[in-house]
Amino acid sequence: MRDRLLSRGIRPVVADSVAVARIIFGLIIAWGAIRFLARGWVDTLYLDPANHLTYASFEWVRPLPAPWMHLVVIAIAGLGLCMAAGYRHRLSSSAFLIAFTYTELIEASLYLNHYWFLTLMAVTQLLLPVQHRWSLDARAGRVRASSTVPVMAVWVLRAQLAVVYLFAGLAKLNPDWLLHAQPLELWFADRADEPLIGSVLSQPTSAYVASWAAALFDLTIVGWLLWRRTTRWAYLALVVFHLATGWLFQIGLFHWVMILMTLVFFEPDWPRRWLGRFPGSRQSTRPFRRATPAAAPLAIRRPMLLALGFFAVVQVVLPLRHFAYPSNVRWSEEGYYLSWRVMLTDKAGLVTYRVTDPSSERSWEAGPELVLEDWQQSHAATRPDLIVASAKLIAEHYADAGLTDVEVRADAWVSFNGGRAERLVDPTIDLASVDRGLSAKSWILDEPQR
Q: What is the enclosing helix (H) or strand (E) of 171?
A: helix 151-171
Torsion of CA 338, 344, 350, 353, to 10 degrees: -20
pTM above the 0.85 mark?
Answer: yes
Cα angle at 29 between 113 and 33, to 5 degrees?
95
Instruction: Give CA–CA dist 143/132, Å, rounded.
Output: 6
Q: 361-418 pLDDT, tens per residue? A: 899 999 999 999 999 998 899 999 999 999 999 999 999 999 989 999 999 999 999 8
Provide CB contacts within 8 A for 151, sequence distance 6+.
Answer: 8, 9, 10, 11, 12, 13, 268
Q: Terminus-to-terminus CA distance in the chain, angstroms?
A: 50
Q: 203-249 pLDDT, tens per residue? A: 989 999 999 999 999 999 999 999 999 999 999 999 999 999 988 88
Cα angle at 359 between 445 and 412, to 5 degrees?
20
Q: How confident is the model at residue 288 (pLDDT cuts 50, 70, 90)?
A: very low
Residue type, 181: A
Q: Is 207 helix (H, G, I), strand (E, B) or coil?
A: helix
For residue 135, give Cα distances in angstroms to 15, 23, 296.
12, 9, 19
